[in-house]
Every structure is written in structure tokens, then in C-alpha cells.
Amino acid sequence: MIAFDETLFLWINGLAGNVAFVDEFFKGIANDYFFIVSACLIMLTLWFGTRGAGQRERNQLGVIGALAGLGIAQGFVSLTNFFLTRPRPFTELPTNLIFYQPTDPSFPANSAAVIFAIAVAIFLVNRRAGAVLLGLAILHSFSRIYVGIHYPLDVLGGAAMGTVAALLIFELIKLLGPWPGRLLKLLRIFYLA
């Protein structure tokens, strides 16, 4: 499996360095802030910009779930990195590195874990916004391979951790019953929801 992972990485990363504007596009998408800023703007719109009360409450629970899922996904990554340290591909393979050199372990991809936790949580409550975020998450994850800083299995592992984190949060929200709705009502008193 590792050999296939390395071969797929070399093929995807081999596309880098050939067309300058394509490289610049993927460098911009691979940036640590591209997805986070995009997701924050979408979540802010979902939090305040929905007219129907029922959909607004679902969207707000999705935002809460996304933020909590982000934290859990980060915990999964930290726990995994405590036990497993995979070097970055640019330290082991001939790589067309067109991005900065991160110093943390390659597996799992921290950015993939975080962005998939956000995207899946939003998708569970709002299919349209969630599909946009999932598309951006896939594009961001691919770009991290393209620019030379992650193996494909790194981003798949991160995506799996983020997805599991989002699903766990929504199970917890179901277990809490009416309490999340009561929290939102309290926030509405102070014009925060």
C-alpha cells in the first residue's frame, strides 16, 4: 500500500512545475488559510443569513457541530502523531516542492482532518452549503499532494478522521436532546444567534 501511495504521489506531484499559472492556482488553494477563511464566511452566512426559523436552527447546530468537530479532529491528529510519525514526502522522494516545508508529521494531514470535519458537519444540516465545502475540501486536499507536502494516504486519513469527528458530534447532539436548542434560544436573547 505504501508503494502505491508513493507512486500516486509522484504522479500527482509530477504535474507540478510545468505550467506556472496552474502551480500558482494550486499553491493558493493549498494555503493553510484558503479553506478556513472560505468556511468561516460560509458558516457566518449560515449562522445569521437564513430566513426560515427551522432551517436557521439546523444551520446553527451545523456550525456548532463543525466547530466542535474541528476540535475533535485536531485531537485525533495529535493523538495519532503521538504514536506515529510519517516523514513528509519531500524528505524521502524526489519532489517538485512548490510550497513551504511543514515540519510536523505527514500522516494524517491535519488540514484535511479539520476541513472535512467542518464540511461534513455542514453537509449534515445543509446539503447545498455542505456540497460546496466538500468540493473545496477535496480540491484543497488534492492541492496539498500537488504542491509536494502530503501523500495521498495522508489526506485520506485526515479526511476519515474529520468525517468521524463530525459524525460523533452529531450523535452527541442527538443524545443531548433539547439542550442545544435551548442554548441557541439563550444566544438569541443577546442577538448572537
Q: Where are the domains of the chain?
A: 2-189
> For residues 144 and 51, what is the distance between their CA atoms, to the nearest angstrom?
37
Question: What is the crossing angle of helices 53-83 and 110-125, to 10°?
Answer: 160
State the pLDDT at residue 4. Answer: 92
Class of domain 2-189: mainly alpha
Per-residue pLDDT tens digits of the chain, which is 193 residues long: 788 999 999 999 999 989 999 999 999 999 988 888 999 999 999 999 888 888 888 999 999 999 999 999 999 999 999 999 999 999 999 999 999 899 899 999 999 999 999 999 999 999 999 999 999 999 999 999 999 999 999 999 999 999 999 999 999 988 888 888 788 888 888 777 7
State the pLDDT at residue 68. Answer: 94
State the pLDDT at residue 54. Answer: 85
- Three-state secondary structure string covering the chain: CHHHHHHHHHHHHCCCCCCHHHHHHHHHHHCCCHHHHHHHHHHHHHHHCCCCHHHHHHHHHHHHHHHHHHHHHHHHHHHHHHHCCCCCHHHHCCCCCCCCCCCCCCCCCHHHHHHHHHHHHHHHHCHHHHHHHHHHHHHHHHHHHHCCCCCHHHHHHHHHHHHHHHHHHHHHHHHCCCHHHHHHHHHHHCCCC
State the pLDDT at residue 125. Answer: 94
